[in-house]
Amino acid sequence: MLIIFCADPLDSNQADFMYSAEVEAVKSLGLDYDLISFEDLIAGNANRAVRHIKNQADTVGIYRGWMLKPAQYEQLYRALLSRGVQLINDSTAYQHCHYLPDSYDIIGPHTPKSVWMKTDGNILMPDIMSRLAVFGEQPLIVKDYVKSQKHYWNEACFIPNAADSVGVERVVRRFLELQGGDLNEGLVFRAFVDFEPLSTHAKSGMPLTKEFRVFYVDGQALSYVEYWEQGDYQNLTPPLDKFAEIAKNIHSRFFTMDIAKRKDGEWMIVELGDGQVAGLPEKTDAVAFYRELAHRLNQ
* CATH classification at residue 239: 3.30.470
Within this chain, do residues 233 and 273 fall inside the same structural domain, yes or no?
yes
Strand ranges for 83-236 from DSSP E: 85-87, 114-118, 140-143, 158-159, 186-191, 197-200, 207-209, 211-217, 220-226
Q: What is the pLDDT of residue 33?
A: 97
By residue range, what is the domain housing residue 149? 113-191
Among 174, 191, 208, the domain boundary falls at 191
Mean pLDDT (the chain) is 94
Asked whether residue 168 falls in the same domain as residue 207, the answer is no
pLDDT at res. 181:
86
Sequence-separated (6 or more) residues with CB below 8 Å from residue 35 = 4, 5, 6, 7, 12, 13, 14, 15, 52
Q: Which helix (H) or strand (E) holds 242?
A: none
Of 127, 158, 191, the residue that ends a domain is: 191
Q: Is residue 100 part of a domain?
A: no
Q: Compute the average pLDDT of residues 120-143.
A: 94
97: in domain? no
200 and 293 in a single domain? The answer is yes
105 is a domain residue: no
CA 100 – CA 114 distance, rounded (Å): 9
Dihedral, CA atoms, 138, 143, 149, 151, nearest 10 degrees?
A: 40
pLDDT at 198: 87
Amino acid (one-letter) located at 118? K
pLDDT at 69 over 90: yes
**Looking at the domain assignment, is residue 219 inside a domain?**
yes
**Mean pLDDT, range 110-135, rounded to an integer:** 93
Phi first, then psi: give them for residue 106, nearest 5 degrees.
-95, -45
Residue 16: count other Cβ atoms within 10 Å of its Cβ: 19
Reply yes or no on whether the pLDDT at 89 is more than 80.
Answer: yes
Domain count, the chain: 3
Domain boundary among 191, 209, 225: 191
Confidence class of residue 248 from pLDDT cuts 50, 70 and 90?
A: very high
Are 293 and 204 in the same domain?
Answer: yes
pLDDT band at 158 (very low <50, low <70, confident <90, very high): very high
pLDDT band with cut points at 50, 70 and 90 for residue 50: very high
Q: How confident is the model at residue 167 (pLDDT cuts 50, 70, 90)?
A: very high
Evaluate if residue 243 carries a pLDDT over 90: yes
Q: Strand 254-261 relative to strand 211-217: parallel, antiparallel, unpaired?
A: antiparallel
Mean pLDDT confidence for 171-175: 95
Confidence of residue 200 (pLDDT cuts 50, 70, 90): confident
| Residues 212 and 290 reside in one and the same domain | yes
Helix residue ranges, H only, 184-261: 244-248
Q: Per-residue pLDDT averaged across 61-75, rounded?
A: 97
Q: What is the pLDDT of residue 199?
A: 84
My answer on whether 149 and 187 are in the same domain is: yes
Is residue 285 domain-resident?
yes
On whether residue 101 sits in a domain, the answer given is: no
Q: Is the pLDDT of residue 253 over 80?
A: yes
Tell me what pLDDT residue 231 has: 85
Check pLDDT > 90 for residue 159. yes
58, amino acid identity: D
Task: Please check whether residues 199 and 187 belong to one and the same domain.
Answer: no
User: Is 148 inside a domain boundary?
Assistant: yes
